[in-house]
Structure 1
Amino acid sequence: MTPRPDEHGPDVGDVRAALAALGAPPMPADVSARIGAALAEEMRSGARAAGTPPVGSSDDRPTGDTTAPEGPRPSGTRLRLVRPPHDGTGAPQRHLPSPEGTAGRRAPGRPRSAVLAGLVAAAVAGVAAVAVTVGAPSSPHVVSEESDLRAAGAGAVGEQGAGPLADPARRRACLTSAGVPDPGAALLGGRPYAVRGEPGTLLVLGTGVRGRFRLLVVDCDAGRGRLLASTTAGR
């Protein structure tokens, strides 16, 4: 027999909305600031490297000579003569040919892709740390069974996985044996669920208050019921 929502029980949409509101904690501001600063520094380093003049070979031409040095030229490279700058003494300085049509050379070092990959990995590690250490650094909070149960309850709403407990009479007998108050509460959904490796059935039950519901994990066998876990969710 499939579970049927109680006409006077909580709305299934409210149940889903209440559970969906439980999201992952945001990344701490100091972690985000460090990652942003590292990315900005990497971009500045890349810009400085791209603006560095390429290294050329010198020749023995006299100072002030404006003709391009002779010799083999790389394929696809066109040489442009650059007006020699002055050093303040009136004598022009020696100049080097400037290749056009080629990308600026990057200073030796780690490739930018490798640096960015390391920053992304650091960001992922920071988010993972936030997921298990919420709150002050001196008081780490490990994700609890209650949080896991609420997350599972969000997916169990409307599901028909309660098995034999979908039958109101059997469910009432099991919950009464387990000492659960209001064993005749409306069933909103169910699915198999294990607590610390012990198999049971997760039941989403109405409470008579709109937007509030109970999550129970029970083990019912041969008319005997045991309560493995329980919590409430919603308003």
Structure 2
Amino acid sequence: MADPADPADPDAPDVELLADLDAGLLPADRAADVRRGASSDPRASAVLDALAATRADLAALPAPSAPPDLVRRWTATLAAAPPPAGAPPSRPAVAGPSPHRSAPGPGRGPGRGRPARPRPRAARRGALAAAAVAVLALVTGLFGARAAGPLDVGRVELATVARSTVGLTDLGALADPARRDACLRAAGVTGATVLGGRQVRLDGTPGVLLVLPTGELGSFRVLVVTPACRVLSDGTVGGR
């Protein structure tokens, strides 16, 4: 069997172009052209199947634990932060006069003498912001990206779009787990892990495309349902 990515074959699919399509890097009009071409080319479909299977395997891996040193730094930053606005001030401890402290002499009343050191609130807020950005970047990297918005798609393009949906979490109204499970049950699906999802307009009808495993490597069940759980399309792509 010929290698679908054999550079010596003039008719071999452009793997880099297909990878860009799979990663969502192509402009919308260019992506639509490449999808149409791939849907009629078995070798291009095989490349997209392999890319989707790889992302599905990666999505199934458990999220790695944060490095202990990073956790310690986050904890220290949060502990050093000032209390939130509106929080009641902590009551200072009441202490008796120190036997070794002399009464203030002339010129050393309250507010005089060595100036008090300013509290580094701005620096703390900056550190908190940096920590928040780091957490956000980590969570975004672990739990997937969101699509740019609803994608207009026809039924002939569903297979190609489904492959590039693995790992996306643009579930729209179905982001609520209870609602999503209800829609899956309405389609006869129970206990399946959603490998990816995105909002689409299938032949003009708004819906959510869900990619589900079939138990066969490179094969996926593609389900499109409306937010009201009406099934618009249900099929399988990939596999042998």
Give the TM-score, by structure 2 length.
Answer: 0.35
Give the TM-score, by structure 1 length.
Answer: 0.35
Q: Which structure carries more helix by proportion? A: 2
Q: Which structure carries more strand by proportion? A: 1
